[in-house]
Structure 1
Amino acid sequence: MNRTRRRRHSQPDVRLELFPIPGIPEVREGDDIGELIVAAMPDLRDGDILVVTSKIASKAEGRVRRGVSRNEAVATETRRVVARRGETVIAETAHGFVMAAAGVDASNTESGTVVLLPVDPDASAVAVRTRVRERLGVSVGVIISDTFGRAWRNGQTDLAVGVAGVTPALDYRGMSDDHGNALEVTLTAIADELAAAGDLVKGKVAQTPVAVIRGIAEYTTDEDGPGVRELVRQSEDDMFRYGSRDVVFARRTIREFSAEPVDGAKVRRAVDAAISAPAPHHTTPWRFVLLESAEIREKLLDAMREAWIADLRGDGLSEESIARRVRRGDVLRAAPYLAVPCLIMDGSHTYRDDRRNAAEREMFVVATGAGVQNFLVQLAVEGLGSAWVSSTMFCRDVVREVLDLPPGWDPMGAVAIGHPAAPPRDRAPRQATDFIVVR
Structure 2
Amino acid sequence: MTAEAETGEVAADGFAFGVRALDGLPEVRPGDDVAALVAAAAPDLRDGDVLLVTSKIVSKAEGRILPAADREEAIDAETVRVVARRGGLRIVENRQGLVMAAAGVDASNTPAGTVLLLPEDPDASARAIRAGLRAALGVDVGVVVTDTSGRPWRSGLTDIAIGAAGVRVLDDLRGGQDTHGNPLNVTITAVADELAAAGDLVKGKTAGRPVAVVRGLGRLVGDDAGPDGARALVRGAAEDLFRLGTSEAVREAVTQRRTVREFTGAPVDPAAVRRAVAAAVTAPAPHHTTPWRFVLLESAESRTELLDAMREAWIEDLRRDGKSEESVARRVRRGEVLRRAPYLVVPCLVMDGSHHYGDDRRDGAEREMFVVATGAGVQNLLVALAGEGLGSAWVSSTMFCRDVVRKVLGLPDDWDPMGAVAVGHPAAAPKARPARDASAFITVR
Instruction: Flag whether TM exceeds 0.5 (same fold).
Output: yes
Aligned counterparts of 1:11 and 1:410: Cα–Cα separation in 2: 75
Aligned counterparts of 1:275 and 1:295: Cα–Cα separation in 2: 27
The equivalent of 1:211 in structure 2 is 212
Amino acid in the other structure paired with 1:263: D
Instruction: Give the superposition deviation at 1:62.
Output: 4.8
Alignment deviations for residues 174-232 of structure 1 (CA, whole Å, 9 cap, x no partner) = 32222223333322211111111111222223333322222211112324734234322
Instruction: Give the superposition deviation at 1:155.
Output: 0.9
Residue 191 (str. 1) matches residue 197 (str. 2): no
Amino acid in the other structure paired with 1:104: V
The equivalent of 2:302 in structure 1 is 296
Asked if 2 retains the 8 angstrom alpha-carbon contact of 1:252 and 1:424, the reply is no
The equivalent of 2:3 in structure 1 is none
Residue 233 (str. 1) matches residue 200 (str. 2): no
Aligned counterparts of 1:366 and 1:78: Cα–Cα separation in 2: 40
Amino acid in the other structure paired with 1:189: A
Amino acid in the other structure paired with 1:18: R
Residue 252 (str. 1) matches residue 257 (str. 2): yes
Query: In angstroms, what is the RMSD of aligned CA positions?
Result: 2.9
Instruction: Give the superposition deviation at 1:281.
Output: 1.3
Of the two, which has the highest radius of gyration? 2
Alpha-carbon distance change, 307 to 94 in structure 1, aligned in 2, over 3 angstroms: farther
Alpha-carbon distance change, 362 to 85 in structure 1, aligned in 2, over 3 angstroms: farther
- Could you tell me which of 389, 399, 422 is aligned with 1:393? 399
Alignment deviations for residues 265-310 of structure 1 (CA, whole Å, 9 cap, x no partner) = 1111111211222222111122222221122223333333444444
Q: Structure 1 regions of 5+ residues with no counterpart?
A: 1-9
Alpha-carbon distance change, 374 to 112 in structure 1, aligned in 2, over 3 angstroms: farther
Amino acid in the other structure paired with 2:269: D
Identity of aligned residues (%): 65
Aligned counterparts of 2:261 and 2:32: Cα–Cα separation in 1: 52
Alpha-carbon distance change, 50 to 281 in structure 1, aligned in 2, over 3 angstroms: same
Query: Which is worse superposed, 261-270 or 54-63?
Result: 54-63
Partner of 1:246: helix, strand, or coil?
A: helix
Instruction: Give the superposition deviation at 1:419.
Output: 2.5
The equivalent of 1:42 in structure 2 is 43
Amino acid in the other structure paired with 1:399: V
The equivalent of 1:280 in structure 2 is 286
The equivalent of 2:8 in structure 1 is none
TM-score by length of 2: 0.85
Residue 27 (str. 1) matches residue 29 (str. 2): yes
Alpha-carbon distance change, 200 to 297 in structure 1, aligned in 2, over 3 angstroms: same
TM-score by length of 1: 0.86
The equivalent of 1:262 in structure 2 is 268
Partner of 2:346: helix, strand, or coil?
A: strand
Query: Which is worse superposed, 107-116 or 13-22?
Result: 107-116
Residue 372 (str. 1) matches residue 378 (str. 2): yes
Residue 347 (str. 1) matches residue 353 (str. 2): yes
Aligned counterparts of 1:323 and 1:42: Cα–Cα separation in 2: 85
Alpha-carbon distance change, 170 to 371 in structure 1, aligned in 2, over 3 angstroms: same
Asked if 1 retains the 8 angstrom alpha-carbon contact of 2:303 and 2:344, the reply is yes
Q: Structure 2 regions of 5+ residues with no counterpart?
A: 1-11
